[in-house]
Structure 1
Protein backbone atom coordinates (compact mmCIF):
# COMPACT_ATOMS: atom_id res chain seq x y z
CA UNK A 1 0.00 0.00 0.00
CA UNK A 2 1.55 3.25 -1.09
CA UNK A 3 1.61 6.47 0.86
CA UNK A 4 0.52 8.42 -2.21
CA UNK A 5 -1.56 11.13 -0.61
CA UNK A 6 -1.30 14.85 -0.37
CA UNK A 7 -1.19 15.93 3.26
CA UNK A 8 -3.86 18.41 4.11
CA UNK A 9 -7.30 18.70 5.58
CA UNK A 10 -10.74 17.26 5.06
CA UNK A 11 -12.94 19.79 6.83
CA UNK A 12 -15.75 18.75 9.14
CA UNK A 13 -18.28 19.89 6.55
CA UNK A 14 -16.83 17.46 3.98
CA UNK A 15 -16.47 14.39 6.21
CA UNK A 16 -18.76 11.41 5.63
CA UNK A 17 -19.42 8.24 7.61
CA UNK A 18 -17.32 5.44 6.14
CA UNK A 19 -14.49 7.62 4.81
CA UNK A 20 -11.15 5.87 5.27
CA UNK A 21 -7.50 6.75 4.87
CA UNK A 22 -4.39 4.71 5.53
CA UNK A 23 -0.64 4.60 5.32
CA UNK A 24 1.94 1.86 5.48
CA UNK A 25 5.43 1.73 6.92
CA UNK A 26 8.04 -0.97 7.29
CA UNK A 27 9.24 -0.91 10.91
CA UNK A 28 13.04 -0.92 10.96
CA UNK A 29 15.62 -1.52 13.66
CA UNK A 30 16.46 2.17 13.43
CA UNK A 31 12.79 3.11 14.05
CA UNK A 32 12.77 0.95 17.19
CA UNK A 33 16.06 2.41 18.44
CA UNK A 34 14.90 5.98 17.77
CA UNK A 35 11.56 5.36 19.49
CA UNK A 36 13.40 3.94 22.51
CA UNK A 37 15.47 7.12 22.70
CA UNK A 38 12.55 9.51 22.28
CA UNK A 39 10.22 7.65 24.65
CA UNK A 40 12.97 6.56 27.09
CA UNK A 41 11.47 3.03 26.94
CA UNK A 42 14.53 0.79 26.74
CA UNK A 43 12.74 -2.48 27.56
CA UNK A 44 15.11 -5.21 26.34
CA UNK A 45 12.27 -7.05 24.57
CA UNK A 46 12.58 -4.26 21.98
CA UNK A 47 16.35 -3.88 21.87
CA UNK A 48 18.17 -7.05 23.02
CA UNK A 49 17.84 -10.10 20.75
CA UNK A 50 19.21 -12.53 23.34
CA UNK A 51 16.84 -11.30 26.03
CA UNK A 52 13.87 -11.19 23.65
CA UNK A 53 14.53 -14.75 22.44
CA UNK A 54 13.74 -15.99 25.97
CA UNK A 55 10.37 -14.21 26.14
CA UNK A 56 6.93 -15.37 25.01
CA UNK A 57 7.60 -13.53 21.73
CA UNK A 58 10.72 -15.61 20.92
CA UNK A 59 12.39 -12.52 19.45
CA UNK A 60 12.47 -8.75 19.40
CA UNK A 61 9.27 -6.79 18.96
CA UNK A 62 8.58 -3.14 18.25
CA UNK A 63 7.09 -0.87 20.89
CA UNK A 64 3.31 -1.01 20.60
CA UNK A 65 3.12 2.75 20.71
CA UNK A 66 5.48 2.99 17.73
CA UNK A 67 2.88 1.27 15.55
CA UNK A 68 0.08 3.22 17.25
CA UNK A 69 1.91 6.41 16.29
CA UNK A 70 1.10 5.63 12.67
CA UNK A 71 -2.58 6.09 13.53
CA UNK A 72 -1.72 9.59 14.71
CA UNK A 73 0.03 10.22 11.39
CA UNK A 74 -3.07 9.25 9.41
CA UNK A 75 -5.29 11.44 11.61
CA UNK A 76 -2.93 14.43 11.57
CA UNK A 77 -2.01 14.28 7.90
CA UNK A 78 -5.01 12.78 6.12
CA UNK A 79 -8.28 12.23 7.98
CA UNK A 80 -9.35 14.75 9.08
CA UNK A 81 -5.82 16.13 8.60
CA UNK A 82 -4.05 19.34 9.44
CA UNK A 83 -5.59 21.22 12.36
CA UNK A 84 -7.15 18.12 13.93
CA UNK A 85 -6.94 17.94 17.72
CA UNK A 86 -6.84 14.56 19.48
CA UNK A 87 -9.35 14.31 22.36
CA UNK A 88 -8.93 10.61 23.13
CA UNK A 89 -7.74 7.25 21.88
CA UNK A 90 -8.40 3.69 23.03
CA UNK A 91 -6.05 0.93 21.93
CA UNK A 92 -6.01 -2.85 22.19
CA UNK A 93 -2.71 -4.51 21.32
CA UNK A 94 -3.56 -7.86 19.73
CA UNK A 95 -0.32 -9.15 18.21
CA UNK A 96 3.35 -8.16 18.11
CA UNK A 97 5.07 -6.19 15.37
CA UNK A 98 8.60 -7.31 14.55
CA UNK A 99 11.46 -5.49 12.88
CA UNK A 100 10.91 -5.70 9.13
CA UNK A 101 7.10 -5.95 9.35
CA UNK A 102 5.04 -3.64 7.18
CA UNK A 103 2.37 -2.02 9.33
CA UNK A 104 -0.74 -0.60 7.68
CA UNK A 105 -2.55 1.98 9.80
CA UNK A 106 -6.14 2.73 8.82
CA UNK A 107 -8.63 5.27 10.12
CA UNK A 108 -12.37 5.19 9.37
CA UNK A 109 -15.04 7.77 10.19
CA UNK A 110 -17.78 6.10 12.24
CA UNK A 111 -19.64 9.09 13.78
CA UNK A 112 -19.80 12.85 13.29
CA UNK A 113 -21.16 15.35 15.82
CA UNK A 114 -21.36 18.50 13.69
CA UNK A 115 -22.58 20.73 16.53
CA UNK A 116 -19.54 19.93 18.69
CA UNK A 117 -17.09 19.38 15.77
CA UNK A 118 -16.28 15.93 17.17
CA UNK A 119 -15.51 12.94 14.99
CA UNK A 120 -15.25 9.34 16.14
CA UNK A 121 -12.79 7.23 14.20
CA UNK A 122 -12.26 3.48 14.13
CA UNK A 123 -8.50 2.90 14.17
CA UNK A 124 -6.56 -0.22 13.22
CA UNK A 125 -3.04 -1.35 12.49
CA UNK A 126 -2.40 -4.56 10.57
CA UNK A 127 0.53 -6.67 9.45
CA UNK A 128 -0.64 -8.70 6.49
CA UNK A 129 -3.97 -10.25 7.43
CA UNK A 130 -3.31 -9.89 11.17
CA UNK A 131 -4.83 -6.99 13.09
CA UNK A 132 -2.15 -5.96 15.58
CA UNK A 133 -3.92 -2.94 17.10
CA UNK A 134 -7.54 -1.86 17.16
CA UNK A 135 -9.15 1.07 18.84
CA UNK A 136 -11.18 4.21 18.59
CA UNK A 137 -10.21 7.86 18.45
CA UNK A 138 -12.20 10.97 19.26
CA UNK A 139 -10.98 14.12 17.56
CA UNK A 140 -11.93 17.75 17.17
CA UNK A 141 -12.06 18.29 13.42
CA UNK A 142 -11.09 21.50 11.69
CA UNK A 143 -14.02 23.46 10.29
CA UNK A 144 -14.34 26.16 7.66
CA UNK A 145 -16.59 28.07 10.08
Structure 2
Protein backbone atom coordinates (compact mmCIF):
# COMPACT_ATOMS: atom_id res chain seq x y z
CA UNK A 1 0.00 0.00 0.00
CA UNK A 2 1.40 3.38 -1.03
CA UNK A 3 0.20 6.87 -0.20
CA UNK A 4 -0.32 9.81 -2.53
CA UNK A 5 2.82 11.74 -3.46
CA UNK A 6 2.91 15.55 -3.56
CA UNK A 7 2.37 15.38 -7.32
CA UNK A 8 -0.82 13.35 -6.86
CA UNK A 9 -2.40 15.67 -4.30
CA UNK A 10 -4.84 18.42 -5.32
CA UNK A 11 -6.15 21.46 -3.45
CA UNK A 12 -9.64 20.61 -2.15
CA UNK A 13 -9.04 16.85 -2.21
CA UNK A 14 -10.46 15.25 0.95
CA UNK A 15 -10.98 11.97 2.77
CA UNK A 16 -12.84 10.92 5.93
CA UNK A 17 -12.97 8.20 8.57
CA UNK A 18 -15.93 7.57 10.89
CA UNK A 19 -15.92 5.74 14.22
CA UNK A 20 -18.34 5.40 17.11
CA UNK A 21 -16.45 6.00 20.36
CA UNK A 22 -16.94 3.15 22.82
CA UNK A 23 -16.24 2.82 26.52
CA UNK A 24 -13.56 0.30 25.56
CA UNK A 25 -11.90 2.94 23.32
CA UNK A 26 -11.76 5.43 26.21
CA UNK A 27 -10.32 2.90 28.69
CA UNK A 28 -7.83 1.58 26.15
CA UNK A 29 -6.68 5.10 25.28
CA UNK A 30 -6.32 5.89 28.99
CA UNK A 31 -4.24 2.75 29.51
CA UNK A 32 -2.01 3.25 26.49
CA UNK A 33 -1.30 6.93 27.22
CA UNK A 34 -1.44 6.90 31.02
CA UNK A 35 -4.04 9.71 30.95
CA UNK A 36 -6.31 8.48 33.73
CA UNK A 37 -8.03 11.84 34.22
CA UNK A 38 -11.27 11.05 36.10
CA UNK A 39 -13.19 13.25 33.64
CA UNK A 40 -12.71 10.35 31.23
CA UNK A 41 -12.87 7.23 33.40
CA UNK A 42 -14.82 8.00 36.60
CA UNK A 43 -18.56 8.59 36.08
CA UNK A 44 -19.17 9.72 39.67
CA UNK A 45 -16.41 12.32 39.43
CA UNK A 46 -17.41 13.37 35.91
CA UNK A 47 -21.04 14.00 36.90
CA UNK A 48 -19.74 16.84 39.08
CA UNK A 49 -17.96 18.56 36.17
CA UNK A 50 -19.31 21.11 33.72
CA UNK A 51 -19.91 18.23 31.28
CA UNK A 52 -22.15 16.31 33.73
CA UNK A 53 -20.67 12.99 32.69
CA UNK A 54 -17.62 11.34 31.22
CA UNK A 55 -16.10 12.65 28.04
CA UNK A 56 -13.61 11.02 25.71
CA UNK A 57 -10.04 12.27 25.60
CA UNK A 58 -9.67 15.08 23.08
CA UNK A 59 -6.62 13.38 21.66
CA UNK A 60 -8.68 10.24 20.99
CA UNK A 61 -10.71 12.25 18.48
CA UNK A 62 -7.51 13.79 17.13
CA UNK A 63 -6.22 10.25 16.64
CA UNK A 64 -8.96 9.72 14.07
CA UNK A 65 -7.37 12.52 12.05
CA UNK A 66 -4.12 10.57 12.17
CA UNK A 67 -5.97 7.53 10.82
CA UNK A 68 -7.13 9.49 7.77
CA UNK A 69 -3.69 10.97 7.13
CA UNK A 70 -1.80 7.72 7.64
CA UNK A 71 -4.17 5.44 5.77
CA UNK A 72 -5.99 7.52 3.13
CA UNK A 73 -4.85 11.08 2.45
CA UNK A 74 -2.02 11.25 1.71
CA UNK A 75 -1.81 7.71 3.14
CA UNK A 76 0.95 5.23 4.00
CA UNK A 77 4.40 6.76 4.20
CA UNK A 78 3.14 10.21 5.22
CA UNK A 79 5.07 11.94 8.01
CA UNK A 80 3.50 14.47 10.40
CA UNK A 81 5.46 17.72 10.62
CA UNK A 82 3.04 19.63 12.86
CA UNK A 83 -0.54 19.81 14.10
CA UNK A 84 -2.61 22.65 15.53
CA UNK A 85 -5.90 21.68 17.21
CA UNK A 86 -8.82 23.39 18.88
CA UNK A 87 -11.22 21.25 20.89
CA UNK A 88 -14.64 22.80 20.25
CA UNK A 89 -17.10 20.45 21.96
CA UNK A 90 -17.00 17.35 24.17
CA UNK A 91 -17.16 13.85 22.75
CA UNK A 92 -19.14 11.33 24.79
CA UNK A 93 -19.14 7.57 24.77
CA UNK A 94 -21.51 6.51 21.99
CA UNK A 95 -20.87 9.55 19.81
CA UNK A 96 -20.03 8.84 16.19
CA UNK A 97 -17.12 11.00 15.07
CA UNK A 98 -16.13 11.70 11.49
CA UNK A 99 -12.61 12.99 10.90
CA UNK A 100 -12.18 14.81 7.60
CA UNK A 101 -8.90 15.96 6.09
CA UNK A 102 -8.81 18.42 3.18
CA UNK A 103 -5.76 19.55 1.21
CA UNK A 104 -5.37 23.34 1.59
CA UNK A 105 -1.82 24.12 0.42
CA UNK A 106 0.89 22.32 -1.54
CA UNK A 107 4.61 23.07 -1.58
CA UNK A 108 6.09 20.63 -4.12
CA UNK A 109 9.60 22.11 -3.81
CA UNK A 110 9.78 21.18 -0.12
CA UNK A 111 7.51 18.11 -0.40
CA UNK A 112 5.11 19.60 2.16
CA UNK A 113 1.34 20.05 2.35
CA UNK A 114 -1.04 21.81 4.71
CA UNK A 115 -4.27 19.99 5.50
CA UNK A 116 -7.43 21.28 7.19
CA UNK A 117 -8.50 18.77 9.84
CA UNK A 118 -12.02 18.66 11.25
CA UNK A 119 -13.89 16.18 13.44
CA UNK A 120 -17.67 16.34 13.65
CA UNK A 121 -20.15 14.32 15.67
CA UNK A 122 -23.29 12.56 14.48
CA UNK A 123 -25.24 15.85 14.72
CA UNK A 124 -22.73 17.75 12.57
CA UNK A 125 -21.24 19.62 15.53
CA UNK A 126 -17.56 20.43 15.09
CA UNK A 127 -15.71 18.83 18.01
CA UNK A 128 -12.12 19.32 16.77
CA UNK A 129 -10.80 21.85 14.28
CA UNK A 130 -7.25 22.31 13.15
CA UNK A 131 -4.47 22.41 10.61
CA UNK A 132 -1.81 19.80 9.93
CA UNK A 133 1.50 20.12 8.15
CA UNK A 134 2.69 16.89 6.56
CA UNK A 135 5.36 15.44 4.33
CA UNK A 136 3.76 13.02 1.83
CA UNK A 137 5.61 9.92 0.67
CA UNK A 138 8.26 10.42 -2.01
CA UNK A 139 7.68 9.59 -5.65
**For the superposition of Structure 1 and Structure 2, which TM-score range results when normalised by the shorter chain?**
over 0.9
Aligned-residue RMSD, C-alpha: 0.8
Q: Which runs of 5+ in 1 are unaligned?
A: 1-6
Q: Give the TM-score normalised by the residue count of structure 1.
A: 0.93
Counterpart Cα distance in 1 of 2:133 and 2:50: 33
Q: Give the TM-score normalised by the residue count of structure 2.
A: 0.97
Is 1:73 the equivalent of 2:73?
Answer: no
- Provide the residue aligned with 1:129 in structure 2: 124
Q: Which runs of 5+ in 2 are unaligned?
A: none
Give the 4+ runs in structure 1 shifted more than 2 A.
none
What is the Cα deviation at residue 28 of structure 1? 0.2
- Provide the residue aligned with 1:57 in structure 2: 51
Give the direction of change, closer, same or farther, for the CA distance of 1:129–1:85 in structure 2 (3 Å limit). same
SS of 1:119's partner is strand
How many residues matched?
138
Alignment of 1:96-115 (within 5 A): 96-115=90-109
